[in-house]
A and B are shown apart, each in its own frame.
Chain A
Amino acid sequence: MSLAYYPGCSLHGTAREFDESMRAVADALGIEMTEIDDWSCCGASSAHSSNHLLGVALAARNLALAEAEGRDAVVAPCAACFSRLAMARQEVAEDEELAASLPGILERPFDNTVDVLNVVQLLLPYAESIRELVADGPGFSAVGQMKVASYYGCLLVRPVGVAGADDTEVPTTMEQVASACGAQPVAWNMAVECCGGSLSMSRTSSVVRLGRAIIDDARRAGADAIVVACPMCHANLDFRQVARAEDGGTVPVIYLTQLVGLALGIDAEKLGLNRHFVDTSPLLVELADRATSAEADAAAKAAAKATRAGAVV
């Protein structure tokens, strides 16, 4: 499969650690992907609510470019970009009139042949390879101590039929990838609730309220970190909650690709874990400590067992 990469605007700016960790993990797993040459903004989240056709056309331009480059599929790590590209692909597939009009609007051929994947869909088929790679790797013991709340938000599960999730209300695919990394997914209630992404700038107070409820539930469930796959979700749960960090009411928020990267033993800085507002370094230290004491416990138990066995003999 020839795979195109669509970073989108956020991954070139405030979400650069998503781009960094995506590329590092793809390298480690042997996933070849080529950035779409001269890609443009997908139009999220303003285009579709201003002019529906514009929303479809801005996303479709990138699909047409990937198609011309001979790609079978494109991965868009940003959940909003993924949603706009996948939505355009579906609408064009279902609407002949729209399909016929697009080449004229884009002024280039467009046959809608390129599949659209989000980062969870990209990584899920690699779950077994990740499991094997981390089993003896240096990252395993620390990530193995990590309890994670997998946060899908909206666009990885909705709209139904576009997002392609395994379940709209109780999805499990992020948990499957997290488990392959050795992490322990927690059971919690806010996995598919909205963080308020599209109003982050224009109605910040609502977004802070929504983010808080998500963080509070993750903490109640005992999560060490919230795992996300969307730059808007990340900003709202990390950057927008920074005022709360002072009273200890936050929890580190990391990208799924950063979790996989850590498990594969990739350097935390190379994964951009130093770029978050809620400091991730205390967690990394804490996980290493837990791993050390877990190892010591295991060694002590083994020794005790050997002693008992010796006594019996």
Chain B
Amino acid sequence: MESSTLHSNEDDIASAVVRHQEAHGAPHVPASSVRMSLIDEVYARSGVNVRTCYQCGKCSAGCPMMGEMAVRPHVVMHLVQRNQRAEALSCDGIWLCLSCETCSARCPKSADPARVIDTLREMATETNPGLAPRAIGAFNKTFLDQIRSKGRMSEVGLAMQFNLRSGRLLQDATSMPALVSRGKLKINPPSMRDIDDVRRIFANVEAATRDARSKGGYR
């Protein structure tokens, strides 16, 4: 990140907050309740300046999921530029993104669509976990629950809990015998000794995130 863009953008954010407060005449309003524009919030969270995007569409052209998306990556970038928060946080494009990073590798403006999409998913998860399609939300939640409870991911546990949460009770069930015969499924993989160490990380991250948000910050 070049320092010049960084500083000018931070000034933008500060002045945007001041403008907002002046317009609404409520200087006593705590920072957390002042909603900055989407483009500034994405910047504050990720350090990515979506203003640099000039809508060439290269991100969408190389996206392996483009054909399945109603809202393609360059449109996601445009939604951020136009401050269309609700549309950006609920569009299918951010959830179908595979994080393959092809868009960001090829972006001529280094506007990093993959990081922007990751940031939008993080914001959507905080705003309303129901915004994610059921299966994708179920996968992420199951995955994180696994790490929190075991410190490591158990593939059997992941698959079984995912099926329960997503309502796809029999997905991959027919593959189980073949996985077992290949020695690939361990019902109880070697566990960690100090699982509490990982749980403390979850707790500390949650506390740090709460703390940052309550101060109106995002990092």
Whether A50 and B144, one on each chain, are in contact in the complex, defined by CB atoms closer than 8 angstroms, is yes
Partner of A38, one of B121, B144, B194, B201: B194
Interface residues of A in 25-82 (CB under 8 A from B): 38-41, 43, 45-54, 57-58, 61
Partner of A275, one of B99, B147, B184: B184
Partner of B140, one of A50, A158, A196: A50
CB distance from B152 to the nearest CB of A (A): 5
State the CA gap A202–B144 with chains docked (Å). 15
Whether B98 and A101, one on each chain, are in contact in the complex, defined by CB atoms closer than 8 angstroms, is no
State the CA gap A39–B159 with chains docked (Å). 22
Whether A196 and B98, one on each chain, are in contact in the complex, defined by CB atoms closer than 8 angstroms, is yes
Interface residues of B in 129-146 (CB under 8 A from A): 133, 135-136, 138-140, 143-144, 146
A residues less than 8 Å from B151 (CB atoms): 40-41
Partner of B64, one of A10, A98, A194: A194
Whether A12 and B100, one on each chain, are in contact in the complex, defined by CB atoms closer than 8 angstroms, is no
- 9 smallest beta-carbon distances between A and B, as pairs: A194-B100, A158-B101, A46-B143, A9-B153, A202-B135, A46-B140, A202-B139, A154-B100, A105-B204
6 examples of A-B residue contacts, CB within 8 angstroms: A13-B156, A14-B155, A50-B140, A52-B45, A105-B201, A204-B171
Q: How would you classify the secondary structure of chain B's contact residues: helix, strand, loop or mixed?
A: helix
Residue B166 lies at the interface, judged by CB distance under 8 Å to chain A: yes
Whether B121 and A40, one on each chain, are in contact in the complex, defined by CB atoms closer than 8 angstroms, is no
Interface string of B69-107 (1 = CB under 8 A from A): 000000000000000000000000000101111101100
CB distance from B46 to the nearest CB of A (A): 8
Residue B190 lies at the interface, judged by CB distance under 8 Å to chain A: yes
Residue B24 lies at the interface, judged by CB distance under 8 Å to chain A: no
Residue A179 lies at the interface, judged by CB distance under 8 Å to chain B: no
State the CA gap A192–B99 with chains docked (Å). 13
State the CA gap A101–B211 with chains docked (Å). 13
CB distance from A22 to the nearest CB of B (A): 16
Whether A51 and B152, one on each chain, are in contact in the complex, defined by CB atoms closer than 8 angstroms, is no
Residue A210 lies at the interface, judged by CB distance under 8 Å to chain B: yes
Residue B183 lies at the interface, judged by CB distance under 8 Å to chain A: yes
Residue A296 lies at the interface, judged by CB distance under 8 Å to chain B: no
Whether B155 and A51, one on each chain, are in contact in the complex, defined by CB atoms closer than 8 angstroms, is no
Whether B147 and A58, one on each chain, are in contact in the complex, defined by CB atoms closer than 8 angstroms, is yes
State the CA gap A204–B185 with chains docked (Å). 19
Whether B182 and A13, one on each chain, are in contact in the complex, defined by CB atoms closer than 8 angstroms, is no
B residues less than 8 Å from A12 (CB atoms): 152, 186, 189-190
Interface string of B191-219 (1 = CB under 8 A from A): 01110011011101100110000000001
A residues less than 8 Å from B198 (CB atoms): 40-41, 58, 61
Whether A159 and B105, one on each chain, are in contact in the complex, defined by CB atoms closer than 8 angstroms, is yes
With contacts A14-B155, A49-B122, A49-B140 known, is A275 near B182, CB below 8 A? yes
With contacts A40-B152, A40-B197 known, is A54 near B45, CB below 8 A? no
State the CA gap A49–B95 with chains docked (Å). 10
State the CA gap A52–B116 with chains docked (Å). 12
B positions within 8 Å CB-CB of A:
45-46, 64-65, 68, 96, 98-102, 104-105, 114, 118-119, 121-122, 125, 133, 135-136, 138-140, 143-144, 146-147, 151-156, 158-159, 162, 166, 171-172, 175, 178-179, 182-186, 189-190, 192-194, 197-198, 200-202, 204-205, 208-209, 219
State the CA gap A275–B180 with chains docked (Å). 10
A positions within 8 Å CB-CB of B:
9-10, 12-16, 38-41, 43, 45-54, 57-58, 61, 97-98, 101, 104-107, 154, 157-160, 168, 192-194, 196-199, 201-204, 206, 210, 239, 242, 274-277
Whether A239 and B175, one on each chain, are in contact in the complex, defined by CB atoms closer than 8 angstroms, is yes
Whether A196 and B197, one on each chain, are in contact in the complex, defined by CB atoms closer than 8 angstroms, is no
State the CA gap A154–B62 with chains docked (Å). 13
Partner of A40, one of B136, B147, B154: B147
State the CA gap A120–B178 with chains docked (Å). 30
Residue of B nearest to A154 (CB): B100
CB distance from A48 to the nearest CB of B (A): 6
Whether B100 and A40, one on each chain, are in contact in the complex, defined by CB atoms closer than 8 angstroms, is no
Whether A105 and B101, one on each chain, are in contact in the complex, defined by CB atoms closer than 8 angstroms, is no
State the CA gap A38–B175 with chains docked (Å). 30
Whether B209 and A53, one on each chain, are in contact in the complex, defined by CB atoms closer than 8 angstroms, is yes
State the CA gap A110–B155 with chains docked (Å). 30
State the CA gap A197–B64 with chains docked (Å). 12
Whether A45 and B201, one on each chain, are in contact in the complex, defined by CB atoms closer than 8 angstroms, is no
Whether A40 and B104, one on each chain, are in contact in the complex, defined by CB atoms closer than 8 angstroms, is no
